[in-house]
A and B are shown apart, each in its own frame.
Chain A
Amino acid sequence: MAGEPVEKKDWLSRRAFLRCLGAALALTAAAKEFLFGAEAPGQAASLGLPLPEERVEATLKRLFGNRPLNQDEGKVKLELPLIAEDGGNVAVTVEADLPMTPATYVSNIYIISDKNRRPMIAKFSLTPEAGKAYIATNIRLAATTDVRAVVEMNDGILYAASKHVRVTISGCGDVPQS
Chain B
Amino acid sequence: MADTGRVRIRLPSTIKPGEVIRVRSLIIHPMETVQRDKQGNLVWKNYNFIHTVTVTYNGKEVMRGETTQAVSQNPIFTFPLKVDRPGKLTITFLDTTGKSYEGTAEIKL
Which chain A residue shows the least CB distance to B57?
A129
B20 to chain A, nearest CB (A): 4
Which residues from B are CB-within-8-Å of A133? 80
Given contacts A122-B65, A140-B69, A172-B70, contact A130 B79 (CB under 8 A): yes
Known contacts A48-B96, A117-B34, A134-B80; A127 and B70 CB within 8 A of each other = no
B residues near A90, Cβ cutoff 8 Å: 72
Point out the residues of chain B lying under 8 angstroms from A44, CB to CB.
96-98
B70 touching A140 by the CB < 8 A rule? Answer: yes
Q: Closest B-chain residue to A126, C-beta based?
A: B63
What's the count of A-B pairs with C-beta under 8 Å?
Answer: 134
> In whole angstroms, how far apart are the Cα atoms of A15 and B90 in the complex?
48
B64 part of interface (Cβ distance < 8 Å): yes
Size category of the B interface is: 35 or more
How many residues on chain A are close to B (CB under 8 Å)? 43
- Contact A173–B33 (Cβ < 8 Å): yes
Residue among A48, A117, A124 with the highest chain B CB neighbour number at 10 A? A48
Shortest CB-to-CB span from B11 to chain A, Å, is: 14
B9 near A: Cβ within 8 Å? Answer: no
- Residues of chain A lying within 8 A (CB to CB) of residue B4: none
Residue of B nearest to A89 (CB): B72
CB B10 to nearest CB in A, in angstroms, measures: 12
Give chain A nearest CB distance to B47 CB in angstroms.
4
Residue A104 is within 8 A (CB to CB) of chain B in the complex: no
CB distance from A32 to the nearest CB of B (A): 15
The 0/1 profile, CB within 8 Å of A marked 1, for residues 21-51 of chain B is 0100000000011111000101011111101
Q: In the complex, A174 Cα to B77 Cα: how many Å?
A: 24
Instruction: State whether A124 touches B79 (Cβ < 8 A).
Output: yes
Interface residues of A in 118-169 (CB under 8 A from B): 118, 120-141
B15 to chain A, nearest CB (A): 12
A139 to B66, CA, bound (A): 13
A-B contact list, 14 entries, CB within 8 Å: A89-B72, A117-B34, A121-B71, A122-B66, A122-B71, A125-B63, A127-B63, A130-B62, A132-B20, A134-B80, A135-B79, A136-B77, A137-B71, A171-B72
Q: Which 3 A-B pairs have the closest CB atoms?
A: A131-B82, A48-B96, A131-B20
Q: Which residues of A are in contact with B by a Cβ distance under 8 Å?
A: 44-50, 88-90, 93, 100, 113, 116-118, 120-141, 171-175
